Every structure is written in structure tokens, then in C-alpha cells.
Copies of this chain bind each other. A is one copy, B any other.
């Protein structure tokens, strides 16, 4: 079991699972179909992930690692507001991308709440502290004025993401292109600054 071969097989499985998830939904994605599409075997899937929930939990964790990696590359130590400006489009692209939306659909279809919890723990709970750090730094530098960090965070997320995720999840909104993402992120930041400017 060479590690690179193992990794490649995991990649194939993940890709197959995402493809099926996006076209057929969580309930419509069977373990056999994933195995077949990944040219793997049923037994391997169950040996590696335990059960169907485990497979998608693993998917969520993989995605979380990717998100963390991308956030780290996108957040250099320049001025906090500049970091925020760079973070916005990256976040929007991530949160509204096909993969993240598929995972949210899976979580919505899991009545036990396991996937939802995993998604929140490795998604929102990972992303928000990083933005929070940026907001705190901006306040320390006098670039922002707000009382509660939590509220400022919620405000920024609301302005940036709004209800786009749920609309993507129920299938009434296509993935935005780069221009739309940039425009929305800029608008959100402008409004956020207008509400948290040091003058006001």
C-alpha cells in the first residue's frame, strides 16, 4: 500500500462521490455507484469509511483541509482591511462552489444531524475565527469600530453571503462567475465599512 497510490485512490473516490452527489443528491448516491464510478470496490469503501455517513464525513473533512489551505494562502500579513478584501472573493467562491453546496445538500438530507455538525465544525467554526482575527486586528489598528466581535462577524457574513447558500442548495441559483463574486464581495465590504467606520 504505497501512500501515493492510496492517496490517488482516495482522490478518485472523492471525485466520484462529489460527481454523484451533485447530480443525484445524497439519498440518490449509493455506495455501489460511488465504488463503480471510482473503479473501486464496495468492500474497500466500507473498510475505509465504515458506512455511508463515514464516507461523506471524510469528504467534509477533506474539504475542510482544502478550505484551510486556501485561506492560509489567501491571507498574507498585509493590512487587515486589505486581507479582508482579499478574503471576501475567496470565501464566496468556496462557500458557493459546487462541492460545498453538494456537501450542504448532503447535510440537509441527513436527518441525524451528523453531517451537519461535521460541516459546521470543520467549516463555519474554522472559517469564522480566521475572519474574526482579521476584524480584531483591524479594530486594533483603528480601521474599524465595533463593540462585539461576534456581532461584527455575523454582520460581515450576512453582508457577504446572505441567503445565497440556501438558494444554491435548493437549486434556484447557479454558481456565480468570477465577476459576480468580485462585485458581491466589494459591495459587502463597502457596506460593512460604512457600518463599522471609526467615524460612526
Question: Which residues of chain A have a CB within 8 Å of any CB of chain B?
Answer: 23-28, 104-105, 107-111, 113, 115-117, 119-120, 124, 151, 154-155, 157-159, 161-163, 165-167, 169-172, 187, 191, 194-195, 200
Give chain B nearest CB distance to A190 CB in angstroms.
Answer: 10
Shortest A97–chain B CB gap in Å is 14
Least distance between A142 CB and chain B CB atoms (Å): 20
Cβ contacts under 8 Å, A154 to chain B: 162
Q: What are 28 A-B contacts with C-beta separation under 8 Å?
A: A24-B111, A26-B27, A28-B111, A104-B166, A104-B170, A105-B108, A105-B109, A107-B171, A108-B109, A108-B169, A108-B170, A109-B109, A119-B172, A120-B172, A124-B167, A154-B162, A155-B159, A155-B191, A157-B163, A161-B162, A162-B162, A163-B163, A163-B166, A166-B166, A166-B169, A169-B169, A194-B200, A195-B195
Q: Which of B25, B117, B119 touches A111 (beta carbons < 8 Å)?
A: B25
Smallest CB separation, A173 vs chain B (Å): 9
Chain B residues contacting A163 (CB-CB under 8 Å) are 157-158, 161-163, 165-166
Residues of B within 8 A of A200 (CB): 194
Which residues of chain B are within 8 angstroms of A194 by Cβ–Cβ distance?
Answer: 194-195, 200
Q: State whether A120 touches B167 (Cβ < 8 A).
A: yes
A165 to B200, CA, bound (A): 30
| Candidates B26, B113, B124, B159; contact of A171 at CB < 8 Å | B113
Q: How far is the CB of A193 from the nearest CB of chain B, in Å?
A: 11
* Interchain CA distance A146-B195 in the complex, whole Å: 16
CB distance from A74 to the nearest CB of B (A): 20
Complex-state Cα separation, A110 to B23, whole angstroms: 10
A165 to B115, CA, bound (A): 16
Which residue on chain B has the smallest CB distance to residue A26? B109
